[in-house]
């Protein structure tokens, strides 16, 4: 819809001579025109999102050259449409609009994890690079020399979790990282193209575009992340000190020196992002958790699909509707034997309505049992906000979406396991330290990694970390935030960030950091709603319809309101608050203080 024509006076200059002339110009568009534009844009975007989602689902669950090409073509179509609409939306930038329309225009600009240049050829190049990197990661494997077997990433992860021989651990750690160097040049070109697209939309770079989606100025959001990290840093440093001492007892101080960062291959996880797999090396004596969830599942003969049913049952107990039949018919639950798939767990909503699915290569273990609840949290969130406008069918912020399922997982207390028949009786309270330590090795240990991935990426996007310093910048941040160091010399011939899925797949990671903060804040508020009395870590909201109603009220708005408004619906507070983590782990903090007495904590940060 065109604006009205009006007359305005302009200066027309030829050389040094300027004369005042009358010219015909368009009047600023109206709010009604903006509304009509957005309505049409949302219709077109929804169709494109659904087409791209279906192509991406096929490519993720059946990796071939053809499916990869089709996914890239569909992604290109979404990028091209979004960029064209965002460019067209710029005509409303100076128009006085209602908050709802202004919010939609911003979400239009930030609706994708990547912005592309206006040039169609560059858009196609960007899409091809993105699809190619994700496919290369999905096909990645480590084949040891001398005719040894080739190991997929899930197999490598299992070995790394179980092995205690340092030479083999190093071989596994280095073996997976060989998948990344071929992506390095592609990633540098991806950054270059994505930054051009972000600047076309009025942002300094892609990182600023990402941060702009958090209902506060980008610099203020960066400061907010540091504020939250400062709240939990003392607990993390206490945990780091205790774990380092336990690893030194196992491997010797020559391999794990005091006062230094922990070598990354010794923490039981391919990226050292969670440490629960070294629990046996750092657990308190005579204070084990009293049970092992993996053993409980195996003893009860719980299969992969049955684990998903447990997750559905939890949400049903809160008053949520059962999952649709199509969920069970169309999801990918186990790794196929006949084709390559992307095993990384993810939740999907193929039609942005009722066609929700999960994709993962499930195994019967405690970790995947928790992951199922996490992914179902995405699906139930997607169902809750499906009545919103398309641009609002998303979480209040990225951390909300990631945090919902993990909030449910915090309710998997011993009492809950007894209630659902997996555990005969809950262990006494004096066993809680072991359970809290195991959970802290998962949740608390993750926090600095969850923060630094995007810290690295934002500095790459801004140019503070140039391509010739990718690896150096990565390890500088890992040492500073995590107190983790590379176990072997690394150089710029390596591309260690690319060995983490979310880098080649261009998936924002700050959402995971925020999710780990918010899940405890959500849990504390929902436990209060459920009338829980006693330690926070012993609370389960299973079966509480009151907690379910409060949770539903927080999910239904989607992204239609600023996240502080939505946070207030769920917690009664408008500010993210990490003190709930300190409340939850208070008994563990006291125990860690006792263990660390006389130890030298901290590490050299370079």
Question: What pLDDT is recorded for position 11?
Answer: 36
Residue 482 maps to a domain = no
- The distance in angstroms from the start CA to the end CA of the chain is 59
265 as an active site residue: the answer is no
Q: Which one from 402, 445, 481, 537 is the annotated catalytic residue?
A: 402
- Residue 359: which H helix or E strand, with range? strand 356-359
Lookup: tokens for 100: 């709802």
> Is pLDDT above 60 for 18?
no
Cα–Cα distances (Å) from 257 to 242, 248, 281, 484, in that order, read 13, 7, 16, 12
Q: Reply yes or no on whether 492 is catalytic.
A: no
Arithmetic mean of pLDDT over the chain:
90
pLDDT per residue as tens digits for the range 568-583: 999 999 999 999 999 9
Q: How confident is the model at residue 406 (pLDDT cuts 50, 70, 90)?
A: confident
Tens digit of pLDDT for each residue in 462-497? Answer: 999 999 999 999 999 999 999 999 999 999 999 999
Query: 188, 283, 502, 546: which is the annotated catalytic residue?
Result: 502
Q: Is residue 552 part of a domain?
A: yes
For residues 533, 537, 541, 543, the Cα torsion angle rounded to the nearest 10 degrees is -90
Q: If you search the block for the tokens 């990402």, which residue do you land on?
A: 210
In a domain, 144, yes or no: no
Provide mean pLDDT across the span 388-394: 95
Task: Please report whether residue 535 resides in a domain.
Answer: yes
pLDDT of residue 127: 85
Q: What is the pLDDT of residue 26?
A: 62
Query: CA dist 225 to 442, 478, 510, 526, Å?
Result: 20, 16, 9, 24
Q: What is the pLDDT of residue 323?
A: 96
Residue 330 is assigned to a structural domain of this protein: yes
Catalytic member of 31, 136, 204, 345: 345
Residue 177 lies in a domain: no
Diameter of the chain measured on Cα atoms: 92
> Per the residue annotation, which of 137, 512, 525, 547 is the catalytic one?
512
Give the model confidence (pLDDT) of 532-563 as tens digits: 998 999 999 999 999 999 999 999 999 999 99
Q: Among 240, 265, 373, 378, which one carries the catalytic annotation?
A: 378
The number of distinct structural domains making up the chain is 1
pTM of this prediction?
A: 0.86
Question: Is 162 known to be catalytic?
Answer: no
Looking at the domain assignment, is residue 358 inside a domain?
yes
* Main-chain dihedrals φ then ψ at residue 141, nearest 5 degrees: -155, 165
Rounded to the nearest 5°, which phi and psi values hold at 406? -65, -30
Beta strand segments in 417-532, E: 484-485
Reply yes or no on whether the pLDDT at 46 is more than 90. Answer: yes
Q: How far apart are CA 447 and CA 83, in angstroms?
A: 34
CA dist 510 and 45 (Å) reads: 25
**489-528: pLDDT as tens digits:** 999 999 999 999 999 999 899 999 999 999 999 999 999 9
Are the C-beta atoms of residues 116 and 87 closer than 8 Å to each other?
A: no
Distance, in Å, from the CA atom of 482 to the CA atom of 505, rounded to the nearest integer, reads 23
Task: For residue 240, indicate whether it is catalytic.
Answer: no
- The question of whether 194 is a catalytic residue gets the answer no
Cα torsion 597, 280, 405, 584 to 10°: value is -20
Beta bridge partners of 356: 349
- Which residues share a beta bridge with 26? 5
Domain range enclosing 568: 293-438+516-588
DSSP notation for 179-194: TSGGGHHHHHHHHHHH
* Tally of CA atoms within 13 A in the half-sphere of 499 that contains its CB: 26
CA gap 124, 76 in Å, rounded:
6
| pLDDT of 17 above 50 | no
Is 50 exceeded by the pLDDT of residue 14? no
Are 129 and 186 in contact by the 8 Å Cβ rule? The answer is: yes
Angle of the 65-89 helix axis to the 184-200 helix axis, nearest 10: 20
For helices 398-409 and 510-529, angle between their N-to-C axes, nearest 10 degrees: 50
Is 18 exposed, middle or buried (CB count within 10 Å of its CB: 0-12, 13-18, 19+)?
A: exposed
Percent of the chain with pLDDT over 70: 94
Distance CA 439, CA 370 (A): 11
| Active-site residue (options: 240, 242, 373, 374) | 374
The average pLDDT across 153-177 equals: 94
Residue of 240, 265, 344, 523 marked active site: 344
Q: Which whole number is the average pLDDT over 16-35?
A: 62
- Confidence class of residue 4 from pLDDT cuts 50, 70 and 90? very low
Residue 314 lies in a domain: yes
Please pick, among 375, 481, 515, 525, the residue that the annotation labels catalytic: 375
- 402 labelled catalytic: yes
| Residue 551 belongs to domain with CATH number | 1.10.1370.40
What are the CA-CA distances from residue 336 to residues 184, 359, 557 (Å)?
Answer: 30, 12, 37
Q: Catalytic: 374? A: yes
- What are the distances in angstroms from CA 224 to CA 166, 215, 313, 474? 39, 12, 36, 22
């Amino acid at each position: 819809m065109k604006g009205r024509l009006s007359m305005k006076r302009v200066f027309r200059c030829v050389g040094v001579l300027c004369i005042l002339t009358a010219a015909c110009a368009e009047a600023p568009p109206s709010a009604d025109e903006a509304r009509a534009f957005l309505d049409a844009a949302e219709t077109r975007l929804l169709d494109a999102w659904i087409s791209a989602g279906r192509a991406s689902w096929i490519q993720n669950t059946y990796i071939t050259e053809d499916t990869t090409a089709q996914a890239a073509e569909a992604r290109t179509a979404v990028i091209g449409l979004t960029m064209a609409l965002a460019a067209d939306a710029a005509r409303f930038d100076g128009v006085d609009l209602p908050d709802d329309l202004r919010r939609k225009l911003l979400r239009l600009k930030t609706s994708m994890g990547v912005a592309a240049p206006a040039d169609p050829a560059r858009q196609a190049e960007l899409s091809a690079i993105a699809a190619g990197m994700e496919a290369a990661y999905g096909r990645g494997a480590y084949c040891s020399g001398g005719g040894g077997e080739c190991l997929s990433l899930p197999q490598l992860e299992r070995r790394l979790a179980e092995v205690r021989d340092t030479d083999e651990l190093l071989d596994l750690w280095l073996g997976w990282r060989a998948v990344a160097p071929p992506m390095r040049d592609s990633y540098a070109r991806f950054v270059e193209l994505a930054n051009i697209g972000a600047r076309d939309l009025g942002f300094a770079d892609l990182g600023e575009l990402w941060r702009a989606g958090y209902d506060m100025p980008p610099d203020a959001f960066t400061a907010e992340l540091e504020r939250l990290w400062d709240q939990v840093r003392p607990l993390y440093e206490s945990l780091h000190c205790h774990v380092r001492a336990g690893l030194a007892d196992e491997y010797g101080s020559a391999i794990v020196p005091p006062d230094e960062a922990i070598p990354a291959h010794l923490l039981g996880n391919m990226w050292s992002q969670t440490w629960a797999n070294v629990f046996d090396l750092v657990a308190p004596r005579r204070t084990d958790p009293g049970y092992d969830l993996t053993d409980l599942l195996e003893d009860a003969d719980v299969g992969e699909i049955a684990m998903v049913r447990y997750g559905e049952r939890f949400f049903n107990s809160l008053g949520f509707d059962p999952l649709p039949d199509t969920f069970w018919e169309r999801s990918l639950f186990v790794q196929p034997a006949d084709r390559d798939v992307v095993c990384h767990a993810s939740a999907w909503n193929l039609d942005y309505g009722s066609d929700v699915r999960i994709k993962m290569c499930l195994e019967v273990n405690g970790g995947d049992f928790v992951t199922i609840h996490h992914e179902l949290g995405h699906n139930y969130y997607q169902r809750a906000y499906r009545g919103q406008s398309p641009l609002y069918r998303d979480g209040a912020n990225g951390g909300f979406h990631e945090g919902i399922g993990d909030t449910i997982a915090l309710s998997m207390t011993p009492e809950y396991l007894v209630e659902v028949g997996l555990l005969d009786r809950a262990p006494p309270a004096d066993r809680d330290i072991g359970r809290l330590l195991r959970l802290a090795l998962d949740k608390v240990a993750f926090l600095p990694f969850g923060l630094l991935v995007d810290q690295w990426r934002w500095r790459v996007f801004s140019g503070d970390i140039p391509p010739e310093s990718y690896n150096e910048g990565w390890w500088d941040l890992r040492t500073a935030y995590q107190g983790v160091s590379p176990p072997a010399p690394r150089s710029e011939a390596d591309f260690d960030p690319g060995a983490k899925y979310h880098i080649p797949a261009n998936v924002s990671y700050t959402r995971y950091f925020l999710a780990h903060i918010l899940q405890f804040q959500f849990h504390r508020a929902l436990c209060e709603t459920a009338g829980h009395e006693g330690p926070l870590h012993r609370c389960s909201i299973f079966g509480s319809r009151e907690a379910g109603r409060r949770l539903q009220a927080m999910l239904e708005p989607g992204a239609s309101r600023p996240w502080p408004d939505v946070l207030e619906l769920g917690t009664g507070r408008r500010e993210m608050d990490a003190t709930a983590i300190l409340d939850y782990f208070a008994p563990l903090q006291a125990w860690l203080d006792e263990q660390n007495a006389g130890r030298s904590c901290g590490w050299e940060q370079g």
